């Protein structure tokens, strides 16, 4: 983890300066010639970065471009942080101080966030991790405006996001369903929230037919994890329930995926990681809320006893499901978790899942496909948090006509719709099992990236943690 703290003075530190006023650069020890050089670059070229390395200390001056919208400006700064992070590491710099000529707290925090998130690495399986390790370990913020509380919140949130990334990056050879539950237990101990794990026998006694069906082809037992964080003065009277898809590996089952489709399927528990790490973050930050996290977990594999297309399942709530594609497994395990969640009489349920290729086809990796039955107030608040964290939400239609597409001839519903609107029919399947106000976030696009994109590193992104944290922080009912 990159540490983030306040800088008491500037001294001879390596510096990154967010600059909207060139003349203000004299405050940071830049001479006339240097300032003129920056001015020439910023005013006469379209360069956004000027770098001084001559004097032993490195100074990076970043031009602060203002977008038409405050949250777009903030995102631009996060991205500038990410490119600066690459350069700092190329120059083998260990510690850097950041400043802003406007001394705007939200801009400095965004810069620090961009640097810290971009500096993440997953080196557990490298033979010589030290050789590949980034040099940068610490970011100090030189500012009067940044509050200590905002700083500790950023530290918690970056840590939680990178924890989620690591869980996603862990292969199933290590991260079985049981291991995932143990990781949640560790997070609970560390941050102070309650964790209860149901084992296979308990899941059988509860008749969670969806989770058990998907698990039939596996040598590893399923788990069902319940996490609970309750602040003494929670703003919500009834709990908010978060549900995360915990498919630790998705081969597709007998509807087997092909090579490239399967390659990244260790990411199929990204929803679960987001839920566990959100609980971690809100508990560490002691947000005044009451949140319950539910994670059904298993791998989806082939075996002599594995479930097959045509099977009819009886779910935890008694619904019969004609199971027509073993690769539509996520909705089966989520359905049981969603109907389990109803007993808490939640005021809001949100599930996160790498649920459909159709969501990726619809909007790619730059946003979250969203749909659900929550009211406009909640939807708007979620959208605002999505923009603020740049984990943006794209809402799909959720018309009742889609309900028809999952009706079954021989059971109540079936686990696939037609060839079109696949992310919506998946959502409709989930909706069958929830009566409370509910939102479904299909994170199949942004959960796992084939290449770095700004401060989102290659592989697991930890998507969902920053979004949910922001939403819960601003929650009131
Ligand atoms: N885990 C996949 C969805 C997925 C695709 C996640 C790409 C991340 C990236 C899910 O279980 C799945 O296989 N869905 C099927 C559903 C279909 C059989 C109705 C799909 O989208 O193809
Ligand atoms: Zn699948
Ligand atoms: Zn899946």
d(CA 141, ligand 1 centre) in Å: 42
Index of the ligand 1 atom closest to the CA of residue 250? 1
Q: How many angstroms separate the CA atoms of 370 and 380, rounded?
A: 12
Place of tokens 């200590």: 148
Nearest CA to ligand 1 atom 14: 356
Q: Which of 331, 355, 427 to mutate to test the pocket of ligand 1 (most atoms within 8 A of CB)?
A: 355
Query: What pLDDT is recorded for position 430?
Result: 99
Instruction: Say whether pTM exceeds 0.95.
Output: yes
Residue with the smallest CA separation from ligand 1 atom 7 is: 357
- With a 6 Å cutoff on the Cβ, whether 210 touches ligand 1 is no
Q: How far is the CA of 463 from the centre of ligand 3 (A)?
A: 17
Burial classification of residue 10, based on how many CB atoms lie within 10 Å of its CB (0-12 exposed, 13-18 middle, 19 or more buried): middle
257 belongs to the catalytic site: yes
Q: Where are the beta strands (DSSP E) in 223-379?
A: 223-230, 240-244, 246-250, 290-300, 312-314, 320-322, 348-353, 368-372
Angle subtended by helix axes 376-389 and 70-90, to nearest 10: 30
Whole-number pLDDT of residue 142: 97
Which ligand has the shortest distance to the CA of 354? 1
**Pocket lining: 250 vs ligand 1, CB cutoff 6 Å:** yes
Whether ligand 1 lies within 6 angstroms of the CB of 354 is answered as yes
Q: Is 239 in the pocket of ligand 1 (CB under 6 A)?
A: no
- Alpha carbons 63 and 49: distance in angstroms, whole number: 6
In angstroms, what is the span from residue 263 Cα to ligand 3's centroid?
A: 12
pLDDT score, position 196: 98
Q: How many helices (H) and strands (E) does the chain have?
A: 16, 20
Find the 193 Cα to ligand 2 centroid distance in Å: 31
CB 369 within 8 A of CB 454: no
Q: Which of 261, 265, 357, 463 to mutate to test the pocket of ligand 1 (most atoms within 8 A of CB)?
A: 357
State in Å: Cα 444 to ligand 3 middle.
Answer: 9
Q: Does residue 460's CB lie within 6 angstroms of at least one atom of ligand 1?
A: no
Please give the sequence-ordered ranges of beta strands (E in DSSP) within 329-418, or none if there are none. 348-353, 368-372, 393-395, 413-414
DSSP label of 65: P
Please report, to the nearest 10 degrees, the dihedral formed by the alpha carbons of residues 166, 168, 169, 171 taken in order: 120
Torsion of CA 425, 393, 382, 237, to 10 degrees: 30
Q: What is the chain's pLDDT, residue by residue, as a tens digit (477 residues)?
A: 899 999 988 877 899 999 999 999 999 989 999 999 999 999 999 999 999 987 788 999 999 988 889 999 999 999 999 999 999 999 999 999 999 999 999 999 999 999 999 999 999 999 999 999 999 999 999 999 999 999 999 999 999 999 999 999 999 999 999 999 999 999 999 999 999 999 999 999 999 999 999 999 999 999 999 999 999 999 999 999 999 999 999 999 999 999 899 999 999 999 999 999 999 999 999 999 999 999 999 999 999 999 999 999 999 999 999 999 999 999 999 999 999 999 999 999 999 999 999 999 999 999 999 999 999 999 999 999 999 999 999 999 999 999 999 999 999 999 999 999 999 999 999 999 999 999 999 999 999 999 999 999 999 999 999 999 999 999 987
Cβ atoms of residues 63 and 49 within 8 Å: yes
Which pLDDT does position 477 carry in this prediction? 74
State how far the Cα of 128 lies from the Cα of 12, in Å rounded to an integer.
Answer: 32
Classify residue 165 by burial, with Cβ atoms within 10 Å: 0-12, 13-18, 19+. Answer: buried
User: Of these residues, 216, 245, 331, 392, which one is catalytic?
Assistant: 331
Which residues in 24-77 belong to E strands, given as ranges?
49-52, 59-63
CA distance 381 to 347: 15
d(CA 119, CA 331) in angstroms, rounded, equals 34
Atom of ligand 1 nearest to the CA of 415: 19
Distance 447 CA to ligand 3 centre (A): 12
Query: Which residue among the candidates 6, 48, 238, 257 is catalytic per the annotation?
Result: 257
Which ligand 1 atom is the nearest neighbour of the CA of 329?
Answer: 11
Per the annotation, the verdict on 377 as an active-site residue is no
The CA 152 to ligand 3 mean position distance, Å, reads 35
Residues with CB under 5 A from ligand 2 (ion): 250, 327, 329
Q: Domains of the chain by range and CATH? A: 3-140 (3.40.220.10), 158-476 (3.40.630.10)
Cα–Cα dist 184/194, whole Å: 10
At 349 the pLDDT is 99
């Amino acid at each position: 983890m990159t540490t983030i703290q306040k800088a008491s003075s500037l001294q001879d530190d390596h510096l990154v300066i967010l600059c909207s006023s060139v003349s203000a650069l004299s405050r940071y020890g830049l001479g006339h010639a240097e300032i003129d050089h920056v001015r020439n670059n910023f005013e006469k070229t379209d360069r956004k970065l000027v770098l001084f390395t001559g004097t032993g200390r490195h100074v990076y001056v970043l031009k602060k471009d203002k977008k038409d919208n405050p949250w777009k400006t903030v995102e631009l700064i996060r991205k500038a942080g990410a490119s600066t992070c690459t350069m700092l590491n190329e120059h083998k710099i260990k510690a850097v101080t950041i400043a802003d000529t406007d001394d705007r707290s939200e801009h400095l925090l965004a810069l620090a966030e961009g640097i810290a998130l971009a500096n993440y690495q997953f080196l557990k399986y490298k033979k010589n991790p030290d050789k590949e390790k980034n040099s940068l370990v610490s970011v100090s913020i030189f500012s009067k405006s940044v509050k200590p509380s905002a700083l500790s919140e950023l530290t918690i949130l970056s840590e939680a996001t990178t924890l989620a990334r690591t869980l996603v990056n862990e292969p199933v050879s290590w991260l079985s369903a049981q291991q995932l539950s143990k990781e949640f237990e560790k997070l609970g101990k560390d941050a102070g929230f309650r964790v209860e794990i149901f084992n296979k026998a308990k899941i059988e006694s509860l008749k969670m037919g969806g989770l058990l069906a998907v698990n039939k082809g596996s040598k590893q037992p399923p788990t069902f994890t319940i996490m609970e964080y309750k602040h003494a003065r929670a703003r919500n009277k009834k709990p908010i329930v978060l549900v995360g898809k915990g498919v630790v590996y998705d081969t597709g089952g007998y509807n087997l995926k092909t090579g490239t489709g399967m390659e990244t399927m260790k990411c199929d528990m990204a929803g679960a990681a987001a839920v566990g790490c959100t609980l971690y973050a809100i508990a560490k930050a002691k947000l005044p809320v009451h949140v319950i996290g539910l994670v059904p977990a298993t791998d989806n594999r082939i075996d002599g006893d594995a479930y097959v297309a045509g099977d009819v399942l009886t779910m935890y709530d008694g619904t019969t499901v004609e199971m027509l594609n073993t690769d539509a497994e996520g909705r089966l395990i989520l359905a049981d978790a969603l109907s389990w969640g109803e007993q808490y009489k939640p005021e809001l349920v949100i599930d996160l899942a790498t649920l459909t290729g159709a969501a990726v086809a619809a909007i790619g990796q730059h946003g979250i496909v969203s749909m659900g039955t929550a009211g406009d107030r909640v939807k708007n608040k979620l959208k605002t948090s999505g923009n603020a964290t740049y984990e943006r939400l794209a809402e799909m239609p959720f018309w009742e006509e889609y309900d028809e597409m999952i009706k079954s001839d021989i059971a109540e519903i079936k686990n696939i719709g037609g060839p079109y609107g696949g992310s919506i029919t998946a959502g409709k399947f989930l909706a069958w099992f929830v009566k409370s106000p509910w939102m479904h976030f299909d994170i199949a696009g942004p959960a796992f990236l084939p290449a770095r994109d700004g401060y989102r590193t290659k592989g697991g992104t930890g998507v969902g943690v920053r979004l949910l944290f922001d939403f819960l922080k601003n929650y009131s009912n």
